[in-house]
Chains A and B, each alone.
Chain A
Amino acid sequence: MVDAREITSKQKQIAVSEFFEKNKHFLGFDSLQRSLITAVKESVDNSLDACEEARILPNISVQIDRLKGDEIRLVTQDNGPGIPRDAVEHVFGKFLLGSRFHAIRQTRGQQGIGITGVVMYSQLTTGVKTKVTSKIASDSSAVFVDIGLDTRKNRAIKSREKRDVWFDDITGEVVEHGLRIEARMKGKYQRGKQSVFQYLRMTSIVNPHATISLVVRDRDGEVYEQGSWKRTTDKLPRVVEEIKPHPHGIQLGTLQRMLRESEERKMTSFLRHNFSGVSMRAAKEILSLAEINENRSPKRISTNDANGMLNGFQNVKLLPPPTDCLSPIDDLLIKKGLSKAIDSRFAATVTRNPTVSQGNPFQIEVGLVFGGDLTADGPIEVLRFANRVPLMYQQGGCALTKAIESIDWKRYGLDHPGGKGLPKGAAAVLIHLASTNVQFTSEAKEAVADNDEVFEEIRRALLEVGRGLKNHLKKKSQRKKAKEKFELINVILPEISKKSSKLLGKPEPNLSPVITQIMNAVFCEETLGWNSEQKLATCIIEVYNYTARARAYTILVKWPESDTVKIAVNPLGGRKEAKGIWAWRIETLDPGCSTTINIGISGLTKGDWVDTDIFFRGNGDIIGATKIDETLLEEIRKMEALSAAQNEINEQYSETEVNHLIQRAETAAKSELEKEIIETPTPESNSSSIQNGSPTLFDDYNTEELE
């Protein structure tokens, strides 16, 4: 008789290798081309996660060599913490299937089956074991080991293990800590939109703290493709907090499992300790709605009662889940990342505030670049990311793409034939969805599933960058017009005067009344620059009065004010109007005269400040500046006061409940505010400049295109 245990064990053995074979396409190992990308992805994602956890700025190198036939050698190396000797077989030899449902936070490793998949794939396609070199800082030597898989027992087989000093292949220096993986597998390197190059390029955009390099060599050792993306910031992503699930995102099965595994004795404590956003009051209300006694043991809750609880979750007022479990990239860093990868003339980025959908916190970040090296014919480039991982396949079916397609891009200056599909033009749009639970359309995890809240957040962010683009294009054409006018009056007109006088033998006429008549406007021109000696970002604003009468204005400039960014040079003084808005009064600007305002800003690096908005207050238009919207300015001041008050409270009490309450109050106040602004018609005096789509002042206010 066969032992029953042996049978189950056998079934399991078959299951693991079969599982891989059967699900190769879900796991990203379908075509030769894609398998290579997946292998690179698994190992690079691991490296980035490991470095992040160990607070190390990652240096990652990827090397691909073509061997005989379809075979290739993939070598990836990082400067991460390395893996302790005892853990190597665990990391490389186990399929970690299923998710850790108690711990909810944003991680890259939500995709695929991890590095074990690479070991498995290599073994299945070439029969060659994966060479691993690992060095942790506290050991004196590195571990060198070959890893294979025993598919029957679902564990790693180690061979040729040795300890030695590890010298870097390229620099020849001793490696202090890091991990090197060398795998031999079937695969195909192909250039293009779906390539290892593109994957790493995209990865570098959303991981501006990482330095990544790629070398691909042909069979004869010739370099076939290479790339190098240096880090643009030394700021590591923030450590993400693990959070408990929020009742709004819970399904029956999960709830029942949590109840079964619970160690609490009372239902009230079960609810309060296992979920986020549930206060004592809320717990009691849920239980009373579900008609469950507060003192019952969680282990004894029936399916029927669990259903009652789910109902209670939806009908009781709950605090939103905390959002510090998310790790946004930060809009300035996206801008840097994008400009590192793409040479463009204009870049706008937006990081939306975190929000919640069905109990899952999520946050949207969007970037748009325009002009420069980008080609103008054909659809724009779409760069999709979920939790800092590039999505490279199934672009058309992805909710992120659909959100882009839903915008009327014509209004923002891009060609959008028929208002359908992707707009055309020299632009690229980046969308990053950070969430504790990214919903994909399928196991392949390449396309984000439709979700109204996510969709709406993306749309709002896109509208914001779209307005920036429109503003940029408008400014560009205004600037061109102004330049032409200046050439006309400064060059051509004097020549007409000179030439005609010479032909006629007459004296030259006085041109200033002619110039005033031709221009008949006040012009404003700003030049942003960089003072490398003083490390200051500079802004020079010149205002010319080419009208027949004297003018008086207040000129306002938008600047990236923050705790570290200050105005260091400002000979004209002026005053602060609001956060990020500085104003100067020009008392009299006589006809035919000009005046110059210049400031120097400290705390920025070169290239941080390349685009700004100039506003004015006063009678008569200024070409090159926008009339300031006083109501919006007022709202900004209110918001400032609100956040100042909030900071004060934060300092006094550090209890989480209080934070939650403030957060909720703030969210409520903000949505009230948004509503108010949308509903309030724009005052007469500002209507002309605002309604034809000039930029709104501040990011969180949407005065247009809100359904």
Chain B
Amino acid sequence: MSDFTKRKSKEEVISSLKGIALEMHNKMERGTPPTMTLPVRSKTNIAFDQKLEVYKYGKKKTIRDATSLGSARQLLRSLYVTEFIEQMIEAGKSSTLREMYYISESWGHGKFGTQNDSNNLAEDLEIVTKCLREDFKLRPEEDGARIIGDVTFEEKNRKGDWMRINCRDDVGDSGYGVPYNVESEKLKLITEDVDFIMAIETGGMFDRLVENGFDEDARCALIHLKGQPARSTRRIMRRMSDEWKKPIIVFSDCDPWSFRIFASIAYGAIKTAHISEYLATKGAHYLGITADDILAYDLPSDDLTKQDLNALDAELTDPRFNSGYWKEQINLMKELGKKAEQQSLAKYGLDFVTDTYLPEKLSAIGLDY
């Protein structure tokens, strides 16, 4: 197990955070500007980790030093955040990232400019200290996924009692809402009676599959990703894959952004590459819609925009897409100059997706039903 998956004690968290202050203080004592050392967080610094089988940050480091006003402010903010987290740990409280953003109003020159600043800094601190933001008592506000299917969890409710929930029988049409914390102290995976787990990009398609009873017909659990999946969504998929040994199938639109969603699920996201082994599910499978589906099923499509083309070109130099399959898909999409939505399948009727498209695609990878 890596540094990340091993949960840290309060004392360990505080002492790692103080390491940041120590780096700054030591530099100043030596008469040089204070610094904070971070790995470079871009596609140029992610590499496949043979042992973990996911993409992780490489060796490139960036040094944030107090020679410009912006960086100096970031350093000061880190110190304020350290102090704030220490206080929360002592008091046994937690706060959302957004709450921290508002609390920073009283931090004078350490105040955040935007919510994005505070989110990024929380991630910086995770990376530098090798702690999780859950250790920092910081919660995201991101919307967790919804699940429908014959799988059963136990979730600890606010009263501290374990509550058993079957995601087919105990939920309404909107499914089971995945909480932000899906670690074992909060959520247990109990039983399942499915053959695979299908992650769906758009709400419209998720609802279509639910209405058509696809989860029961195909013996699967459906997860609505809600666009770029939140950390907890990726984490619960990883746990279901690890603990239940079920394949994860991704069904998304056919555009450059959907490819990135898949990459963050299967290989690890660039922003969270420090915890890829904890969030990414190796072996997740991209079912569709593929670029060749646009041709094979003669789907209604839109022209690629300039931004789409730029995104595709960027993917061609992204190490995560450096495989024969992805190069072919990306180049084919560029050649067609087209993209298509999941819901374009409705061209052939509302049941086409469940009666024809998915069975054909699944059977091609040996998941007949």
**A residues adjacent to B (C-beta < 8 A):** 484-485, 487-488, 491-493, 495-497, 499-501, 503-504, 506, 509-511, 513-514, 517-518
Contact = CB atoms under 8 A, between A and B. Distances in A.
A504 B21 contact: yes
A514 B24 CA distance: 12
B333 to A, nearest CB: 33
18 contacts: A488-B72, A492-B66, A495-B108, A496-B24, A496-B34, A496-B72, A499-B76, A499-B83, A499-B110, A500-B24, A503-B21, A503-B82, A504-B22, A506-B25, A509-B25, A514-B34, A517-B33, A518-B67
B18 A497 contact: no
Contact of B31 (A484, A485, A492, A517): A517
Given A503-B21, A518-B66, A491 B109 contact: yes
A513 B34 CA distance: 12
B66 A488 contact: yes
Nearest to A515: B33
Interface in B72-89: 72-73, 75-76, 79-80, 82-83, 86
A499 B80 contact: yes
A511 B29 CA distance: 8
A514 B110 contact: no
Is chain B's binding surface mostly helix, strand, loop or mixed?
helix
Contacts of B68: 484, 488
Nearest to A491: B109
A491 B69 CA distance: 10
Contacts of B33: 514, 517-518
B32 interface: yes
Contacts of B82: 503
A501 B25 contact: yes
A500 B21 contact: yes
A513 to B, nearest CB: 3
Nearest to A485: B69
A500 B25 contact: yes
Nearest to A486: B69
Interface in B1-40: 18, 21-22, 24-25, 28-29, 31-34
Contact of A492 (B18, B25, B72, B86): B72
Contacts of A504: 18, 21-22, 25
Contact of B79 (A488, A499, A517): A499
Interface of B: 18, 21-22, 24-25, 28-29, 31-34, 66-69, 72-73, 75-76, 79-80, 82-83, 86, 108-110
A495 B109 contact: yes
Contacts of A492: 66, 69, 72-73, 76, 109
Nearest to A506: B25
B264 to A, nearest CB: 35
A645 B144 CA distance: 87
A487 B83 CA distance: 23
B76 A509 contact: no
Contacts of B110: 495, 499
A496 B69 contact: no
A493 B25 contact: no
Contact of A495 (B32, B67, B76): B76
A492 B67 CA distance: 11
Contacts of A501: 25
A485 B25 CA distance: 20
Nearest to B25: A500
A503 B83 contact: yes
Given A488-B72, A500-B25, 8 more contacts: A484-B69, A493-B66, A495-B76, A495-B109, A499-B21, A499-B79, A500-B28, A503-B79
A441 B107 CA distance: 66
Interchain residue pairs A-B with the least CB separation, the first 5 = A513-B31, A509-B28, A484-B69, A499-B79, A500-B21
Contacts of B79: 496, 499-500, 503
A487 B22 CA distance: 23
B344 to A, nearest CB: 39
A50 B32 CA distance: 73
Given A488-B66, A492-B66, A499-B80, A514 B25 contact: no
A509 B22 CA distance: 12
B67 A514 contact: no
B32 A517 contact: yes
Contacts of A499: 21, 76, 79-80, 83, 110
A620 B109 CA distance: 33
A497 to B, nearest CB: 6
Given A495-B76, A503-B18, A511 B66 contact: no
A501 B31 CA distance: 15
Contacts of B34: 493, 496-497, 500, 514
Contacts of A510: 31
Nearest to B17: A503
Contacts of B72: 488, 492-493, 496
Nearest to A492: B72
Nearest to B32: A517
Given A488-B66, A495-B76, A496-B24, A514 B83 contact: no
A497 B110 CA distance: 13
Contacts of B25: 497, 500-501, 504, 506, 509
B289 to A, nearest CB: 41
A564 to B, nearest CB: 44
Contacts of B67: 488, 518
Contacts of A484: 68-69
A486 to B, nearest CB: 9
Contacts of A485: 69
B76 A496 contact: yes
A518 B80 CA distance: 22
A592 to B, nearest CB: 13
Contacts of A496: 24, 28, 34, 66, 72, 75-76, 79
A485 B34 CA distance: 15
A126 to B, nearest CB: 60
Contacts of A517: 31-33
A491 to B, nearest CB: 6
A488 B72 CA distance: 7
A345 to B, nearest CB: 23
- Among B22, B31, B86: residue with most chain A CB under 10 A: B31
A286 to B, nearest CB: 70
A245 B60 CA distance: 79
A493 B34 CA distance: 9
Contacts of B29: 509
Nearest to B29: A509
Given A496-B79, A499-B79, A499-B80, A514 B69 contact: no
